[in-house]
Amino acid sequence: MTPAELFDLSGKVALVTGGSRGLGREMVLAFAAAGADVVIASRKIESCREVAREVEALGRQALPVACHVGRWADVDHLAGTAYDAFGRVDVLVNNAGMSPLYPSLAEVTEDLYDKVLGVNLKGPFRLTSLVGTRMAEGRGGSIINISSIAAERPTPTEAPYGAAKAGLNALTVAFAKAFAPNVRVNCIQAGPFLTDISKAWDLDQFESTARTYIPLGRGGQPHEVVGAALYFASDASSFTTGAILRVDGGPR
């Protein structure tokens, strides 16, 4: 196969949670440009529709679906809607996530904790269980989890989030074993990316810290996740499963 053929997604269907903005939007558009039809899921349907129009402008089909991945019923509805529309899912990306700020560890409420674990861990578990089972029983596929460096190096301001992402890393390995050999399950462990979430950061302080502690000296641009995502989604990674790939600017 030529390099272009290795990364070709023509005739595939990809489902991306958190697909309306940030890294999710970049992956949605990259998959469409590589030939895939895309199911775009996020909480806000109009945001999904906006990205769907961008996909359609690339000549591919797009299905926007409102989904709160922390809710089991929403995840079940998302999977069912995708299969009703396309008959299959070839690529699943568990990208939706949240890491709300809190004043102190003692002030983390049960509601906040449950929401963080629900979106970052419970939802991916349920969606992977549903889609991965159907992939394994059918033509196979690829599942990509979007984790975080917080899974290995959490700060006190992201303790529940880091715990959830560490759990997602563990699920990556468990599902890779469960759904082999027809389904590959891999993980992108993302570092600090300058998405819309970074607008809440003190960017002057971040840039100073990045120059000191990140070998590449900066935060990532959203499009810089695309190479890893296309690798895992396509036949280029046909002998790779259970892998956790850091895309984080280098080891601290």
The pLDDT tens digits of the residues spanning 101-147 come to 999 999 999 999 999 999 999 999 999 999 999 999 999 999 999 99
Catalytic: 161? yes
3-state class (DSSP) for residue 188? strand
Model pTM score:
0.95
Beta bridge partners of 145: 94, 187
Which residue ranges of the chain lie beneath pLDDT 50? none
Domains of the chain (ranges plus CATH)?
3-247 (3.40.50.720)
pLDDT value at residue 197: 72
Which of 169, 192, 167, 183 lies closest to 240 in space, CA to CA?
A: 183
Return the H-helix or E-strand segment holding 246.
strand 244-247
- C-alpha to C-alpha distance for 147 and 191, rounded to whole angstroms: 9
Cα–Cα distance for residue pair 148/152, rounded to 1 Å: 8
What DSSP assignment string belongs to 8-36? --TT-EEEEETTTSHHHHHHHHHHHHTT-
Residue with tokens 């595939």: 12
Which one of the listed residues 83, 102, 113, 161 is annotated catalytic? Answer: 161
Residue 247 main-chain phi, psi, to 5 deg: -125, 80
Range list of β-strands (E), 44-199: 62-66, 91-94, 141-148, 183-190
